[in-house]
Structures are given as structure tokens and as C-alpha cells.
Amino acid sequence: MPHGTGDEFAPSPGFVQLVEELAIHLDADLLDLALTHRSYAYENGQLPTNERLEFLGDSVLGVVVTEYLYTTFPDFAEGQLAKLRANVVSAVSLGEVGRELGIGPMIKLGRGEVSTGGDNKTSILADTMEAIIGAIYLSGGKPSAEAWIHHLFDPRVDKAVHLGAGLDWKTSLQEVAAALGLPHVAYEVTESGPDHDKRFEAWAVTGSRSFGPGHGRNKKQAEQQAAEMAFAALDVERDARDAAGAEANA
């Protein structure tokens, strides 16, 4: 397993094992770059960051997952395929994969991010996973990237097919809010960062209640994440209400 330049990192056993099992060729310098968060780069003399690799990896991931969905589910309409893809390549999904592989401790972070638990933040884990995909694509070409993505994300596709509500959190949230007699859900969104690297934060609001924040690299991602948080909370309330009603009628 290669070691990157600059500060040494300790690759997680799960990451090392998967690279070896899939016979992935991963250039040491590209891996090091993929693990370099902008907070670390800015504190150490404006080093190159992983953002360009993240941009590349995001596109590669989208193409591979889209092709898999298109060929695996020939009877699904475009809307169904789009919802599946959005779920599988979401920041939440990427963050979960990053945690499973133990990516967090490998990431080079600035002191501020280290102090606030940046190695476990979904947004940072998701961005780093995309950067790693970009590094694998440049190191070993499309076959290596496909092997890596299919191994990690095909099972998530299979799971997403059975998610139901999770395929479109905003629609599902509106349904559960209506069932509870709550006002129509609206979203409050703020954005930050330069034009080439925008970050969005969203809150799902119904009446006087708000849920979030959801984060994403675009407004839609942030809103979906906020909607997921709201749905999880309100679905518990709906279940409790239904259980109480059933008990009262018993």
C-alpha cells in the first residue's frame, strides 16, 4: 500500500484490504492529494487540495452508477432511475461508505476541523470519497474505478430499491406532515463559499417547527438531507399517534 507525500497517514485496515482485494492500482501522490482537505492545505502554505479530484470523482461515480441502474432495471421509468441514483450517490450515502472504510482518520485536516470532529463530518467524508474515486480513475483508468464503485455502491442500489420513502425524502415528508395535520413544508436555504465551491445549508420548516440542518454542494442535496431528518422525526410521531389510536379503540 503506498504512502503519500508530506505528513504520513495510517491507512485503515479496511481501506487497505479492499484496495488489495480488488487489485486497485492507486498512485501514492494522487492518494495523498485525495486526502488533503482545503483546511489543511490553507494552513500549510496553500498546498493543492483534493477539490479537483472530488470534481472528477463525482462525475465518474455518477456515470458508473447511472449505467448500472440503466442496465439492471430496464423496466424502471426515468423518474425512478433518477430517484435511485440520487439516493445512492448522495452525501449521506458517500459519508456512510467513508465511515465503513475508516477514511476519516486518514484525511489531512486543519486544526479547526480537527477540533470540531471534521474526520466524522458527512460532507468531508463524502467529498473525500469522491476525491479517492477520482484518484483511482486517474491511477488505474475506468476498469479500476468501476471495480471500486461497483463493490461499494451496487449493494446500496439493491437496498435503495426497497427504500420507498427514502427515494424522495421531500415528497415523503410532505405526506407525513399532511397525515399529522401540519402546515405545508417549506425550506430555508443559505449558501456559503466561493462560486466554484458553494456549500448549502437547509432547514425543513412546517409551522413553528424546523428540522436540520441538511448540507450539500447544491440546494437540492441540502433540502433532501433536511427532509430526511424531518421525516425521521415526524414518522415516529405518526407511529406513536397511530399506536395510541389503536389502543384507544381496543
Residues belonging to the binding site for Mg(2+) are: 54, 127, 130
What residues form the annotated binding site? 54, 127, 130
| Per-position DSSP letters for 185-201, written without gaps between them | PEEEEEEES-GGG-EEE
- For residue 150, the SS3 value is helix
Q: How many CB atoms lie within 10 A of CB 244?
A: 10
Report yes or no: 87 and 163 within 8 Å, Cβ to Cβ: yes
Distance from C-alpha of 68 to C-alpha of 83, rounded to nearest angstrom: 14
**What is the side-by-side strand order in the sheet with 199-206?**
186-192, 199-206, 209-216
Active site residues: 58, 130
Distance from C-alpha of 167 to C-alpha of 131, rounded to nearest angstrom: 25
Report yes or no: 136 and 24 within 8 Å, Cβ to Cβ: yes
